[in-house]
A and B are shown apart, each in its own frame.
Chain A
Amino acid sequence: MASLKPSISLVEPAQTPSIDALPKRLVVDAQNVSLTFDTADGKVEALSNVSLQVAEREFVSFIGPSGCGKTTMLRVIADLQQPTSGTLLVNGMSAEQARLARSYGYVFQAPALFPWRSIEKNLKLPLEIMGYSEHEQRQRVQQYLALVNLTGFERKFPWQLSGGMQQRVSIARALSFDPDMLLMDEPFGALDEIVRDHLNEQLLQLWRTTGKTVLFVTHSIPEAVFLSTKIVVMSPRPGRIIDIIDCDFPADRSLEIRETPEFLKIAQRVRTGLRAGHSYDE
């Protein structure tokens, strides 16, 4: 298991000292989390004794073949699914408390924009639900549309935007209420490679400027290595973690880094891990 990097706190959270103010705050602390589904074909172990710690400001990628439980892990952290056993703390609370405290923004593979709402109103949706003032809503829409380079698209409807643009809106929507954490489930999986590269660069910059903790599910090794400070390699049947790899590329890296030996070395380690965990007996 890799050791946790101490989180660099450039910005001190303006709050009274509390348990949260510990030097390296854990955003996710999972101990022996297991989740078993009862399906028509019998029990399926989606997660088996998964233990994982994520400190704030980390960018953690989950990679592995289908059925390895990477999406399930994200959904358990988001309290969209409940583990069968084990303990899980999110922001020092139970997953449900963390959800109710709006600790995270979730980005699905599909943008899941509401087709009857303009882009502006789609961005406002979580803010409306959380009871922000009209003034605050307008201000945040502008701020976060600018963050994903979509200023000027306020009055458009989702169908008038390309897939990549829609996914950027959905990222802006997930960030709009300023959660500590961004959970992303293959957000660029449905996009072509060129758009994906571009969005990877944008996401990296977003992560750098906002200082969020990002948990990112992907199928793509280069994407995982390029984006992450930590790569969690998972394997199916039962879903488990087989390797955790630390990456420490400079924060202002560009796509060219993918040609460097360091990059290829880490990619190779991920690939080896994936191969080791994969039984080719399907």
Chain B
Amino acid sequence: MTSSSLALPAPRSRSLARHPLVERYAPIVMTVLALVAIWYVAAVAMNWSLVRDGFEREETPYAVSDIVAGTMEAERPLLPAPHQIALNFFDTVFGYPPLAPRSLVYHSLVTLSATLLGFLLGTFLGVVLALMIVHSRVLARSLLPWIICSQMVPILALAPIFIVVLGALGLQGLLPKSIISAYLCFFPIAIGMVTGLTSPDPLQIELMRTWSATPRQILWKLRWPAAVPFLFASLKVAITISLIGAIVAELPTGAEAGIGARLLAGSYYGQTVQLWSALVASAVLSWGLISIIALIERAVNRSMGAR
């Protein structure tokens, strides 16, 4: 009895470190903290001369500690400190009504709408191309080189051309951005789906043949379900790419709204903090989009008997 009561405190103090949550998240938290620490060190180093020059220009006496403090709150730092970005991010996200032109939420929504439309267009295009390639050797030979070429031209060079041409056709705003986004994101879908649609075992295809299945039945009952895992892998790549496409499309248009517009304005006026918080917004956006796809994927996998 005494031994057990004496022994009690020891396991309890150890149990905090062994708590499943701690065991699971401690390494992650430590890694993030280490990265943030490195960032702070880098911010001090990179903004050092900027701050020192400022002091010298104003001919005010300064100590090393003054410079270090200055690097943490410079107005236009080379590398903003993490807390500056966080403050700017929360300020622009929560500090204005969501649809105000100064709200980051508003800009994110503008980019998000172009991203989603482009993603839908690109997925549709990619799947259709993959179906054509899988079902016809002639189409495979004639389409594939063009599909690959399309991705070798830098989108930054193509985007203004698209905008001008589509503008001449009377298309402005959302659609040109979505088309550029679709142009980027159809590629992983097409390639992934070609692999997926051709993934069934020869045995399974022969089995369908013994039942005299039509090509359409082979497509919907065998090739399509076999391609589903490949589809989701491609969709995750495609959704981030379509976000990038939407942002890039906002750069040459001189768009007034959108994450791309914020990035452009930030770099014009040296507003590095604003620039970084726009980057954070795009990261949050793409993380959210990928999470949604991962959720759908899990539900679909469960219905398809994944173990």
Q: Which residues of A contact B (CB under 8 A)?
A: 78, 80, 99-100, 102, 104-106, 108, 110, 112, 114-118, 125-126, 128-130, 157-159, 177
Contact B210 A114 (CB under 8 A): no
CA distance A106 to B208 in the complex (A): 10
Which of B58-66, B138-146, B189-197, B221-229 contacts the other chain? B221-229
6 A-B residue pairs with Cβ-Cβ distance under 8 Å, sorted by A, are: A99-B210, A106-B210, A112-B201, A114-B204, A116-B225, A159-B307
**Given A114-B222, A116-B228, A106 and B217 contact (CB-CB distance below 8 Å):** no
How many residues on the B side are at the interface (Cβ–Cβ under 8 A)? 20
CB contact between B212 and one of A102, A105, A112 (< 8 Å): that residue? A102
**Given A116-B304, A116-B305, A129 and B207 contact (CB-CB distance below 8 Å):** no
The dominant DSSP class at the B interface is helix
CA distance A129 to B217 in the complex (A): 7
**Given A112-B204, A114-B204, A116-B225, A129 and B211 contact (CB-CB distance below 8 Å):** yes
Contact B207 A105 (CB under 8 A): no
Contact A114 B225 (CB under 8 A): yes
A interface footprint on B210-252 (CB within 8 Å = 1, 0 otherwise): 1111000100011001101000000000000000000000000
* B18 contacts chain A at the CB level, 8 A cutoff: no
* B149 contacts chain A at the CB level, 8 A cutoff: no
Chain B, 108-158, CB within 8 A of any chain A CB: none
Chain B residues near A108: list those with CB within 8 A. 203, 206-207
CA distance A266 to B100 in the complex (A): 92
Chain B, 154-202, CB within 8 A of any chain A CB: 201
CA distance A159 to B225 in the complex (A): 17
Chain B residues near A78: list those with CB within 8 A. 210
Contact B217 A159 (CB under 8 A): no
Residue with the greatest number of chain A CB neighbours at <10 A, chosen from B207, B213, B221, B226: B207
**Given A112-B203, A112-B204, A128 and B221 contact (CB-CB distance below 8 Å):** yes
